[in-house]
Amino acid sequence: MFKKIVINLFLLFASTLIYTQTPDELMEQGNNYYKNEQFEDAIVTYEKISEDGIISSALYYNLGNAYYRIGKLGSAILNYERALKVSPGDEDIIYNLKNAKARTTDRIEELPKIFIAEWWELLLTSYTFNQWLVVFLVLFISFLFLLAIFLTTSKIKLRKLVFVFGSINIFILLLVGILLISMIDRETTSHYCILIENTQPAKVAPDEKGDDAFVIHEGIKFEVEEYLDDWAKIRLSDGKVGWIPVGSFEKI
């Protein structure tokens, strides 16, 4: 009896290994579904890859396209935002995201920002954390190289030239270092989300029977400031604050 159980378990395990598809195979299968306009099947296939913890701008982009084709703007915008987070500056992602947002109901006017804040935001989102880290390492190595030349050469003109370039290098190195710290702080403290529900009243307090503060619609982006039981306190880009159920949105 025990031997039979072991054999059955082995056969089950072996069949699982045989029929388990790799992420590349699943991606190809999802793409084929999409090409044949089987968008819901494509979504199921792409989501299987995402559930395995795969982070890919192409995956999120394809998911966004598939959700967009079946009219789920919230999920489409969510995945476009995720794709843009992985690949900042990608023109195709930016275009599709802009197109999807144009179809949403809410028109939120953002609070005005001072120039330096807008410039800093643009700088933060121009590259990914890993890309900025590479820039930091290159600058650090070049600084060590310039320092070595400065300490070993006896030529006055060369020392002056190295000092100038070294000073510029240090300034940019410190700036990139601050950028990296800001990105880490932003990733750990900021929680930007997308509403998935079609319509969601935001309450003045975390209570279903409470008064409505305002109403938001599918696809709107906001920041979660805190959680209380099954409620989340959100802040819109225009400064409005309210409470909505946790299950009505997903984090970017």
* Rounded Cα distance, 8 and 5, in Å: 5
Looking at residue 154, its amino acid is S
Q: Is 131 a member of any domain?
A: yes
Q: What is the CATH number of the domain that holds 214?
A: 2.30.30.40
Q: What is the pLDDT of residues 66-105, one digit of tens each?
A: 999 999 999 999 999 999 999 998 999 999 999 999 999 9
Q: What CATH number is given to the structural domain containing 32? A: 1.25.40.10
Closest by CA position to 141, among listed 164, 175, 178, 166: 166
Mean pLDDT for the chain overall: 89
38 is written with which tokens?
Answer: 């089987």
The yes-or-no verdict on residue 145 having pLDDT over 80 is yes
Residues 63 and 8 in one domain: yes
Strand partners, 216: 200
Task: Express each pLDDT in 203-235 by its tens digit.
Answer: 999 999 889 999 999 999 999 999 999 999 999
Is the pLDDT at 30 greater than 90? The verdict is: yes
Q: What pLDDT, on a 0 to 100 scale, did the predictor assign at position 111?
A: 66
Mean pLDDT of 22-40: 94
Q: What is the spatial order of strands in the sheet that 192-195 belongs to?
A: 212-217, 199-203, 241-245, 231-235, 221-228, 192-195, 249-251
Query: Among the three residues 101, 123, 144, which one is the final residue of a domain in this structure?
Result: 101
* CA angle at 78 for the pair 76 and 84, rounded to the nearest 5°: 100
Task: Identify the domain containing residue 37 by its residue range.
Answer: 2-101
The residue among 68, 101, 134 that closes a domain is: 101
pLDDT interval class at 108 (50, 70, 90):
confident
Alpha helices in 20-155 (DSSP H): 23-35, 39-51, 57-69, 73-86, 91-101, 115-125, 129-152
Per the DSSP assignment, residues forming a β-bridge with 70 are none
Q: How many domains does the chain have?
A: 3
Helix, coil or strand: residue 104:
coil
The DSSP secondary-structure symbol of 5 reads H
Are residue 43 and residue 13 in the same domain, yes or no?
A: yes
